[in-house]
Amino acid sequence: MADWSPKDDFWFKVKFVYRGHDAQQVSVCGDFNGWNPDAHEMERSLEGFSIILLLSEGFYQYKFVVDGRWTKDEHNPHTSYEHDNSVMFVHMDPKVYGLRPLSPPFREYQRLHSDGNQFQILSPNVTPETASFGIVQRQIYVYLPPSYQSDLSRRYPVVYAHDGQNLFSTRRTRAAPRAGAVGVPNSDSVCAGNRCREYCTAEYMDTSSDPFIRYIIDDVKGAIDSQFRTLPDKANTFTLGASAGGLVSYVLAMNHSQTFSCALCLSPYLSYVDRLDHTSFDVARASGWPRCRLWVDSGDGEEDAPYEVGMMKETLEECGWVEGGDFVCWVDECRGRVEKGITHTESVWRERVHRAFKFALCEQ
């Protein structure tokens, strides 16, 4: 039996065709292979030149390289708003054709209280191997502490936040003053369902080759550490997320504790079961000892979530974790103070995240 690949579950065969017979050599390159003209050379065919690639559902930009000359696909009417790249949309429903109205293709948010220095926007390159699994390039949002511009000798801890398109999107943004924060948006803006594919890893116990995990560690963290004055060691690197973002934060820190010392998991999706029937509780049992520090919380109006937080507390204690030092499992009794008792929402997480920050930074 062949080994399972992450590409097996959500990936589609996409045929690229260059309709010309006079060329000597043609390749296709795009954001799915890091724009590497040597990555996918096309073969001669009845149509001209063609190649079949495995791509996930989503939005892609590409060009052909014809005898060293870059050219868009003249038979594809869809082009990007800049660079004149050809664009396409891969969708699991064969009746869906064309593109979502993405103009521009990246979400952009006004930093209403920014002076141009406190917030930065980057678009880190995606390594070709990671891009081949459908992890698309995206803008990430970087918060710099107030002293970053004035104290040029100082380096800072960093928290990497999932669903980062929501991290700084209100006038009331408050960030941890002693740490930098990196908001990594999900890719649901490209295609509905991508967030689940990225955040709900296929195998909990071994994420060493998981495409999204590699993207965070290699591409995003690599870019941040190279361009900003960070403290890149484990002790000063944290991950943050809510709901499915809380789940991937948990899995990220538990499996890569050599990189992340703390996971801040707000209302995490603890009940998710991977393809081998493992749950987040199995990850804790397999660790056998505190690999990192954990903050796990829930609102009291989130159906089974408070029970799951209690289960996580019991599981961690059975494995030798010490509450208060190694972990915090907390159910916020907030149902009575929010509209309609809905506690699985960003307005509630906004209130709780600062307590989580203090835990990560060991502040009282």
Q: What is the pLDDT of residues 63-90, one digit of tens each?
A: 999 999 999 998 887 777 667 888 877 7
Distance in angstroms between the alpha carbons of the first and the last residue of the chain: 54
From residue 39, alpha-carbon distances to 30, 34, 234, 262, 339 in Å are 10, 9, 34, 37, 52
Q: Alpha carbon 212 to chain centroid distance?
A: 6
The pLDDT-based confidence of 215 (bands split at 50, 70, 90) is very high
Banded model confidence at residue 289, pLDDT cuts 50, 70, 90 = confident
* For range 266-285, the mean pLDDT: 90
Least confident of 55-59, 212-216, 356-360: 55-59
Q: What is the pLDDT of residue 252?
A: 94
Instruction: Look up residue 48 and give its DSSP letter.
Output: S
Taking the whole predicted model, whether its pTM rises above 0.95 is answered as: no
Q: State the pairing for strand pair 140-143/180-184.
A: antiparallel
pLDDT band with cut points at 50, 70 and 90 for residue 93: very low
Cα–Cα distance, 364 to 356 (Å, whole number): 11
The per-residue pLDDT for 165 is: 82
Give yes or no for residue 170 having a pLDDT over 70: no
How confident is the model at residue 112, as a pLDDT?
A: 34
pLDDT of residue 233: 97
Which residues are CB-neighbours of 234 under 8 A, at least 6 positions away? 257, 258, 259, 260, 261
For residues 95-122, average pLDDT: 47
Mean pLDDT of 291-305: 90
Reported confidence tier of residue 338, pLDDT bands at 50, 70, 90: low
Residue 241: its pLDDT value, please?
95
Q: In this predicted structure, what is the pLDDT of residue 341?
A: 62
Q: Give 109's pLDDT tier (boundaries 50, 70, 90).
A: very low
Q: Read off the tokens for 71.
A: 């050219």
d(CA 188, CA 194): 5
When pLDDT is averaged across residues 182-200 and rounded to a whole number, the result is: 78
Length of the chain: 364
In 72-227, at which residue ranges do the beta strands (DSSP E only) sit? 86-90, 119-122, 140-143, 158-162, 180-184
Structure tokens belonging to residue 209: 């080759």
The closest alpha carbon to 121, from 32, 215, 223, belongs to 223
The secondary structure of residue 263, as a DSSP letter, is E
**Residue 110 φ/ψ, nearest 5 degrees:** -70, 135
- Residue 314's pLDDT is what? 96
Cα 235 to chain centroid distance, Å, stands at 21
pLDDT on residue 94: 43
Please report the pLDDT score of residue 302 as a whole number: 85
Question: Does residue 98 carry a pLDDT above 70?
Answer: no
Check residue 308 and give its pLDDT: 94
Question: Residues 6 or more apart from 274 whose CB is under 8 A from it?
Answer: 200, 201, 202, 203, 204
Does an H or E element contain 49, and which?
strand 49-56
pLDDT digits (tens, 9 = 90+) for 223-245: 999 999 999 999 999 999 999 99
CB contact at 8 A, 342 and 302:
no
Mean pLDDT, all residues of the chain: 82
Is the pLDDT at 319 greater than 50? The verdict is yes
